[in-house]
A and B are shown apart, each in its own frame.
Chain A
Amino acid sequence: MDQNPQNQKKWKRHSLLRTVILIGFVVLIAEMIMTGRLSQYLAPRLHMLIYVTLGILIILTIASIRQMFIGQSDYDCDCEAHKMPRSIWTSLLIYGLFCLPLAMGLFMPDKMLGSAIAENMGVTLLSNDVRKLAQVNVSPSAEEQQEQDQLQKPTQEDGESPEAEAEKSPEQPVAANGDAKPATMDDSQIRQLFADSDFGDFYTDIAVFLYKQPVIKLDDRVFLDGLTTMELYAKEFAGKEVETMGFVYHQSDFSEQQFVVARFSVSCCTADASVFGILVEDKNAKSYPIDSWIKVRGKLELRNADGFDMLVLKAANVEPVEAPKDPYVYYSFDTPQGSE
């Protein structure tokens, strides 16, 4: 216990700063919850935790205000356990560090993740990697080709990975004419179509659910599971019509007629985001601005790239739309009632 008035004063100043910072966090989080901006930073399944955190932070703020007025109580003795930062510079540095997220959160505008980050992370396309596009391209220049080859070495090396095997095995029993089966089949017949694989009921269910629709709607809820399903059953889904929404992603090695309609998938926070998309072929591909949001409708076509089957969306109709409030897509793992 320390009743030195100088120290008491110092303690109160520290408590004041801490209180201000805590209030800042409360304001920031409350604002994010109220405006719905929270969904740009966290997956919905963590939102409940943030509500609880807000409550705890409010309690901590009250505790800090109490410390500010009462000063060091019997409990808060000046022992080694929680010593306050000593010099003015270290305290400036430390409290400055806490102010940084507050300042950024309150005074800088939101920006959705876009193509720049997607390029950093790499985009996963339907059963393929965006770096293998050279094979889909009509005629890449020699220089580009060389660059592509270098990039591909790693991926070719593990061509024998279990994933590649798994992709091929289920497709063998099915006639590979690539045309859509007539939509007159009933559920059990469709189910039969997908039953030979060993991907489990989950994906079979989604496959049937999607296959039944005359135009498959890949909306926010089924986007990821739908893409995974189509990737597993690439041959069966070739020829089907699909409608989906996402942001426009270009890459320097795309041809004039290619772009990707992409979505970020998030499982907890944006640090674990990954990018999924469908390669779209459209005459006016270059006319859609990067990162703008569009709705695409078209027919899936099966291509062969580097020995892999790959689905490409031949666009029939592309229209610009507003970006959704929650820009990310999630696996049904996050929202159990998802796909149905």
Chain B
Amino acid sequence: MPVNFRSLLRDSLGAVILGLAVVWLTTGGTSNPLFANLITWSPRWLDVRTFFLSILLEAIPFVLLGVFFSAFIQTFVTEAQVRRWTPKNPIIGLLFGGLLGFLFPICECAIIPVVRRLIQKGMPLHVGIVFLLAGPVVNPIVLASTYTAFTRQPDMAMYRGITALIVAFVIGILVLLFIKKNPLRLGMETEIRHEAQHLEATRGKLSATFSHAVDEFFDMGKFLVFGALISALLQVFVGRETMVGIGQTPFTSHLVMMGMAYILSLCSEADAFIAASFSSTFQSGSLLAFLVFGPMLDLKTTLLLFHSFRFGFVVKLILAVTITVLVVTLLMPV
């Protein structure tokens, strides 16, 4: 009985949605969507809708990009190649990870599946983490947009890159010294063996890639949707001005800007423009904290991280990154 009920519920839900889509399609896509005018929505919720859809529409292409890039690495790059490219010396490995962003200029949504895949393929953990943290900042696209946004402080782009590298190196060294256990959600060895089986069993690599992409889209997507929703709610009901009002000493203003970067979950390509709009209210140091912290950690990427890495590791990573960014940006002579 319960089984029947469940399947009934699921099937009817699907049927209802499918039906609605058909109704919508047959009524023709006019500029007023179906039912839009039957209910009066509160303007605040309509604003939430605007932010929510906007963040999703912006992030989905980049998440898909990351998913396909990771599928591409999975299918065409062998473990031996990854091992060969990655420097043996841990210190040179750190540098390599920090500058990999110039080779692969991808933003923070796309980088998580890629790094996870690279680590599975045998990239040393600390190199992967350095790439994860520095990659979304230290790449030509992001630095160029920062330079454009801060017309009046052209060094801001340079400070941003340098600070991000320092923070990433510190975290990379900490990982090298203290993390011995594999932090990926799935045991690395099983995963690799499992993937190898897949490859052998697969008739067409292409169809395998797409099947995989569907799974990844739903795996990553749920976190993305949730993060975007929270961020949209906070933007409408709390607002930047309230957050600005919280702290004004150097220490608290750094914390406030980092908190803001975390909640707003901006793409690292765009956040410099927001930071620039705060330049009359905050000192350069706090803006720098905003610019460095946001791409490394924010609401939506935290959820993606929890999906890819073990719980304990993500908590430690968040703590370490927060403290390091705070200390480094406070000491940075901007």
Contacts and interface: CB of A to CB of B under 8 A. Distances in A.
A19 B53 CA distance: 20
Interface stretch (A27-35, A186-194, A241-249): A27-35
Given A13-B11, A40-B50, A121 B240 contact: yes
A18 B61 CA distance: 18
Interface in A248-296: 265, 267-272, 274
B225 A121 contact: no
Nearest to B65: A49
Contacts of B165: none
The number of chain A residues touching the other chain, given as a range, is: 35 or more
Given A116-B43, A120-B240, A161 B270 contact: no
Contact of A163 (B52, B203, B226, B280): B280
Contacts of A112: 50
A122 interface: yes
A269 B13 contact: no
A34 B58 contact: no
A76 B225 contact: no
A111 B214 CA distance: 32
Interface in A63-82: 63-64, 66-67, 73-77, 79-82
Interface in B220-240: 221-222, 225-226, 228-229, 231-232, 235-236, 238-240
Interface stretch (B27-35, B97-105, B130-138, B171-179): B27-35
A113 B6 contact: no
Interface string A22-54: 111001011110110110111000100110110
Contact of B29 (A35, A116, A271): A35
A332 B277 CA distance: 17
Interface in A103-143: 104-114, 116-117, 119-122, 124, 129
Contacts of B221: 98
Contact of B236 (A64, A120, A333): A120
A59 B210 contact: yes
B11 A82 contact: no
Interface of B: 6-7, 9-11, 13-14, 17-18, 20-21, 24-25, 29-37, 41, 43-47, 49-58, 60-62, 64, 68, 145, 148, 151-153, 186, 190-191, 194-195, 197-198, 201-203, 207-208, 210-219, 221-222, 225-226, 228-229, 231-232, 235-236, 238-242, 244, 248, 264-267, 269-271, 273-274, 277, 279-284
A322 to B, nearest CB: 14
Nearest to B266: A272
A95 to B, nearest CB: 8
Contacts of B37: 109
Interface string A11-22: 001001110111
Contacts of A7: none
Nearest to A40: B50
Interface stretch (A151-159, A171-179, A311-319): A151-159
Nearest to A228: B151
Contacts of B214: 18, 22, 60, 63-64, 67
